Amino acid sequence: MALHSTLSDLCTRIRNGQKSRKLEIFVKKTQKTINILKVLKKEGFIRGYHINDKNILILLKYFTDKPVINIIEPILSYNKNKYISVKSLIQLKELKKKNNQGLGLFLLSTSKGVLSDYESIEQNIGGQIILRVL
């Protein structure tokens, strides 16, 4: 339960921070949040982050006065763990390309940590989808 509230809190703070045009926001420090922010930084959705004792300062990114992240939402599966195979992930990416012109990504929790959908296909690892970013 704590994982889902942490994900929801992270997504909501990023969404609200970009709606109110903030350059930086604070979120609660957890290992899952740090791993997610590493992937978002690597994929170019945020400028960076700084880790303090209890909080993380996230530096939000804008391009031509518009937020880089339009949609960020957790994929919550309260009843069961929904794992996705690499084959299903490739099909999901093909569907996403048609709808979003190839933009956006999914973040997966895998046995090798939190990875983007591109990295998990490259490493041939399936996992649980935890976030959708567009």
What's residue 1's pLDDT?
40
Q: Distance between CA 27 and CA 33 in Å, rounded?
A: 9
* CA 118 – CA 107 distance, rounded (Å): 9
- Written as tens digits, the pLDDT of the chain (134 aa) is 455 578 899 999 999 999 999 999 999 999 999 999 999 999 999 999 999 999 999 999 999 999 999 899 998 766 566 788 899 888 888 877 777 666 788 899 999 999 999 899 999 999 998 998 98
Amino acid identity at 131: L
| pTM score above 0.75 | yes
Spatial separation of the C-alpha atoms in residues 90 and 107, rounded to whole Å: 14
Name all domains of the chain by residue range, CATH numbers in brackets: 2-133 (3.30.1490.10)
CB of 132 closer than 8 Å to CB of 71: yes
The answer for residues whose C-beta is within 8 angstroms of residue 63's C-beta and 6 or more apart is none
